[in-house]
Amino acid sequence: MTIGKETPLMNVAYLYPWDVVGDPSAPGRLADLGVQTVALAAMYHSTRAATPYHPAHRVLDVPYPAFYLPIRPSSWSRLVPASPTWTPADAYLQARDALKAVGLQVHAWTVLTHNSHLGSANPDLVVRNAFGDPYPYALCPAHEDVIEYCERLVQEILEVGEPDGLILEACGPMGFGHQTVHEKTAGADWTPADIDLLSLCFCTNCTPRYPEPTRAAVRAAIDRTAATPTTTGTSHAPSTIEEALGSLADEVRTIRVAQSTTLRQRLISVARSTAANTPITLHANPDPWATGAFAPLPSGEPGADVLVANCWGDPATDATRLARLKDLSTPGQRIGAYVLALPPRPADPDVLADQLSTYSKAGASEFHLYHPGLASPQRLAALTKALRLHG
């Protein structure tokens, strides 16, 4: 299938190094899926992962974020990523070579500011909400040490890993939302506006940049939600972050977007100077208040080759987000849909193919598939058929 006349559809499968290392059947299984490229994690956060195909284990506990390339001490400054103990230190290289041997391209999936290991060890560099509470998993890109760490990370991946492409995730501030061990925050009944407010950083570098009343306005807005009786049927809490911030919203939004822009452009500059012809993919969100894996990109980024939007929710809402990214793109810039093939998505090829069609109509010319290494055989079969039905 082609999108228009000149843009061939590309399928990208996201994978962890441990999905391949120690499993000689993995590369062929991925090639049979119908993908051309694998997004292989080079730097990834902690997780607990199913490994339904691996001959040595079925569940892998990854207790801290790790770098899956050999660490050259002279290449780092204050912040140095950790090596894994659950895979070889060069797991990325081993997996890369195995995947390339069956004809697959390998892009380096790089998680940037999401790092609980470095955040816990360097609490002065993490996001803090308006009440001063730290988010240890979230390195704040307002700090030069954090930007420098991300620059060195990109350079090391390109020099040592020699990937066919670079994928930048969490290329901006992380926020309140974080699926961590035994999360116990849902009962507070915070609204979407509250979550956005709790995602604003008030660390020592961020606070002086905001207008003076910002912290007080954020705290008051969140406390209004808590004070509103839920039995009345009415609420005086703000429905959006703009409403909560009022006249402060424009300036705060500009400051927040500038943080992501600075980090993104410095990383693109490093990437281009290190490996000029390596394509760069950004996980992005056109919402200027976005935080997390898909950083805010309300004005586009001509320095990137691919812009990828999250498509894990309602397909119509996802398609609208994709269309907004498409509108922000430059001629020749590709748009990717980050497609969920895991629960709550059904293991139904017709439903999945219909979703793929929705995303391609919204402008997607790449499907980034999460996650063949985690999918059961039934889900993998459904995804394979869906790709063929759509293609």
Helices (H) and strands (E) in the chain, counts: 11, 16
What are the φ/ψ torsions at residue 311 (nearest 5 degrees)? -130, 55
- pLDDT score, position 187: 82
CA–CA gap between residue 91 and residue 89 (Å, rounded): 6
Each of the 391 residues of the chain gets a pLDDT tens digit; together they read 333 334 567 999 999 999 999 999 999 999 999 999 999 999 999 999 999 999 999 999 999 999 999 999 999 999 999 999 999 999 999 999 999 999 999 999 999 999 999 999 999 999 999 999 999 999 999 999 999 999 999 999 999 999 999 999 999 999 998 877 767 777 888 999 999 999 999 999 999 999 999 999 999 999 886 666 554 455 567 889 999 999 999 999 999 999 999 999 999 999 999 999 999 999 999 999 999 999 999 999 999 999 999 999 999 999 999 999 999 999 999 999 999 999 999 999 999 999 999 999 999 999 999 999 999 999 999 999 999 998 7
Question: Coil, strand, or helix at residue 198?
Answer: helix
CA–CA gap between residue 192 and residue 241 (Å, rounded): 8
- pLDDT score, position 6: 46
Q: Cα 344–298–152 angle (5° rounding)?
A: 85
Q: 240 is written with which tokens?
A: 């959006």
What's the whole-model pTM score?
A: 0.95
Place of tokens 């962890």: 16
Question: Is 219 within 8 Å of 194 (Cβ atoms)?
Answer: no
CA–CA gap between residue 261 and residue 220 (Å, rounded): 29
Q: 8 is written with which tokens?
A: 């061939």
CA–CA gap between residue 218 and residue 195 (Å, rounded): 11
- pLDDT score, position 220: 94
- pLDDT score, position 185: 76
Q: Is the dihedral of CA 213, 218, 219, 224 positive or negative?
A: positive
CA–CA gap between residue 140 and residue 119 (Å, rounded): 9
- pLDDT score, position 212: 93
Instruction: Tell me which DSSP letter residue 365 carries.
Output: -
- pLDDT score, position 236: 66
What are the φ/ψ torsions at residue 261 (nearest 5 degrees)? -60, -45
What are the φ/ψ torsions at residue 285 (nearest 5 degrees)? -140, 125
